[in-house]
A and B are shown apart, each in its own frame.
Chain A
């Protein structure tokens, strides 16, 4: 009989060594292939259709000037924003779900998303009607306010749920409360604001990748370059953090320090993503569970969630751009796909509670 250790051999590179598991590795490899395919397809499709050869050629520096413009200036930044935002949301959700140990935990439910929405809508409505912020300041101000709103709401949930440590279930309950407060505040702003501002705000809070340029790609890319390694390094404690506090502590983990650190990383990731594209709901909720089911692991795989999240948002945006005569915001597509999934989760957890 094969022993469990023989089924997952250790890979050694100098002093470092990691566990090789076939299925999660295959999932990551397959997801990367899908991601690349979706990226190319996302660049091909549009008012000026391009072939695969043209896309690849243009990306390598060839192609006509028109192709260059369409690919590099229009479609590439939009696709990349989708990819990076999806990756950040997937990673954020994976960390939240691993720590809270609840598939319902995600920045959507823990207040971050609606906090960001409230922040951004405040700037859109106040700046517009009062004429305080205009032009380029407004275009920077909205994402910045979104970022601050998300961080504030996330940290507020964290602080309110703290009682000699963080407990997952309490965090979900507090998160639902803060989400309701931030959501209602947003709706209040929409009703008192100017009609045109309210229209702009509505587009923002649906979550859209319309007109995203390189200026949107860069901040999310920078945040991910820093935060993905941080999360992957910090994430090695996630396995031993899956138990009750006492067991985790017995395994040598400083439970509150580790948990706080990872939660803050997850809040920042979700806030940055939301600042760039608005609240694209359900991605952070569904991605870790998809990655987990595909990999057959007990906790959401972090890197797999980054890749699958990126592919999911790009694919949703592709659908949003092509399914209807006018372009839909990507948030509409993720919500349509995500709502039945959320109901499935709720029904399943109720059934489990009864057993």
Chain B
């Protein structure tokens, strides 16, 4: 497996504040990576910098070994698809049109729409199971449907590297599982490399091959879910007193918080 995406002593900041502090990370091809950590630890910022949505203050991001800053926006968009947290679409846009916009990196002013584009849009809608919603407008969809529509757009972009910033936000548990099953399928059937920010530790443990735990702009632990999701790590990273047991369904770690009202036996 080769390294697809790499951060090397990467620092990112907003104004005076340094949010990510000389961080090193390697994402191997064909893996699913979940980035976890408390609010404000810099995980979304890291993801944005990996997708070249934010400039590095120092250090570099390498995409397939090339400095991402030196690549054109368009070349990056042909290799790497990004789904930001809570993206916004214009009023009245249909699902089919939204997904069609994902083809932009492959189009030019004289080649605005081809049969390849059409096939990619159909395939993306088919894969996320929303082909029957194609003519509906995005603003009339439910949260779960809308998230599928946005994921379809990223899929239509045709990149084998996908960065998803909290793809399960605002979704109920059933829809969260739906979306993550879809991510799993993209990974399993097409070998796509996926990096996602997730809040739910148990879902991260279930769906990721590789878990990266961050605190205050640094990586505290990374490795397989079993290696990272330990009671010591939870205390260190989240300041959370918790027990870790085996998930009866998947065999992955299951985090059970203690809380102040309960006493441990």
**Of residues 138 to 181 in B, which have CB atoms within 8 Å of A's CB atoms?**
157
Question: B residues within 8 A CB of A101?
Answer: 90
Q: A118-140 CB contact bits vs B (8 Å, 1 = yes)?
A: 00000000000000000000000
A251 touches B121 (CB 8 A): no
A247 touches B135 (CB 8 A): no
Q: Which of B53, B102, B113 contacts A246 (CB 8 A)?
A: B53
A252 touches B84 (CB 8 A): no
Q: How far, in whole Å, are A249 and B97 apart by their CA atoms in the complex?
A: 18
**Of residues 1 to 29 in A, which have CB atoms within 8 Å of B's CB atoms?**
1, 3-10, 12, 15-19
Q: Choose the segment among B103-111, B202-210, B222-230 that binds chain A (4+ C-beta atoms closer than 8 Å).
A: B103-111
Q: Choose the segment among B1-9, B70-78, B231-239 that binds chain A (4+ C-beta atoms closer than 8 Å).
A: B70-78
B114 touches A17 (CB 8 A): yes
Q: Choose the segment among A176-184, A207-215, A232-240 that binds chain B (4+ C-beta atoms closer than 8 Å).
A: A232-240
Minimum distance in angstroms from A23 CB to a CB of chain B: 12
Minimum distance in angstroms from A20 CB to a CB of chain B: 8
In the complex, how many residues of chain B place their beta carbon closer than 8 angstroms to a beta carbon of chain A? 51
Q: Does B260 contact A (CB under 8 A)?
A: no
Q: Does A319 contact B (CB under 8 A)?
A: no
Q: How far, in whole Å, are A240 and B101 apart by their CA atoms in the complex?
A: 6
B113 touches A247 (CB 8 A): no
A299 touches B87 (CB 8 A): no
Q: Which of B73, B101, B112, B114 contacts A249 (CB 8 A)?
A: B73
Q: Does A250 contact B (CB under 8 A)?
A: yes
B104 touches A252 (CB 8 A): yes
Q: B6-31 CB contact bits vs A (8 Å, 1 = yes)?
A: 00000000000000000000000000
User: Across the two chains, which residue of chain A brings its CB closest to B119?
Assistant: A5
**Of residues 47 to 61 in B, which have CB atoms within 8 Å of A's CB atoms?**
48, 51-53
Question: B residues within 8 A CB of A1?
Answer: 131-132
Q: Does A298 contact B (CB under 8 A)?
A: yes
Minimum distance in angstroms from B242 CB to a CB of chain A: 33
Q: Does A244 contact B (CB under 8 A)?
A: yes
Minimum distance in angstroms from B75 CB to a CB of chain A: 8
Q: Does B34 contact A (CB under 8 A)?
A: no
Question: B residues within 8 A CB of A18?
Answer: 112-113
A19 touches B73 (CB 8 A): no
Q: Given known contacts A5-B121, A5-B122, A244-B84, is B76 in contact with A252 (CB within 8 Å)?
A: yes
**Of residues 276 to 335 in A, which have CB atoms within 8 Å of B's CB atoms?**
298-299
Minimum distance in angstroms from B191 CB to a CB of chain A: 21
User: Across the two chains, which residue of chain B brings its CB closest to A17?
Assistant: B114
User: Across the two chains, which residue of chain A brings its CB closest to B99?
Assistant: A4
Question: A residues within 8 A CB of B131?
Answer: 1, 3-4
Q: Given known contacts A4-B134, A246-B82, is B77 in contact with A251 (CB within 8 Å)?
A: yes
Q: How far, in whole Å, are A253 and B52 apart by their CA atoms in the complex?
A: 12
Q: How far, in whole Å, are A6 and B76 apart by their CA atoms in the complex?
A: 29
Q: Does B195 contact A (CB under 8 A)?
A: no
Question: A residues within 8 A CB of B104?
Answer: 237, 239-240, 251-253
Q: Given known contacts A4-B134, A240-B101, is B111 in contact with A246 (CB within 8 Å)?
A: no
Q: Does A54 contact B (CB under 8 A)?
A: no
Contacts from B to A (Cβ < 8 Å):
48, 51-53, 73-78, 81-84, 87-94, 96-97, 99-102, 104-105, 107-115, 117-119, 121-122, 125, 131-132, 134-135, 137, 157
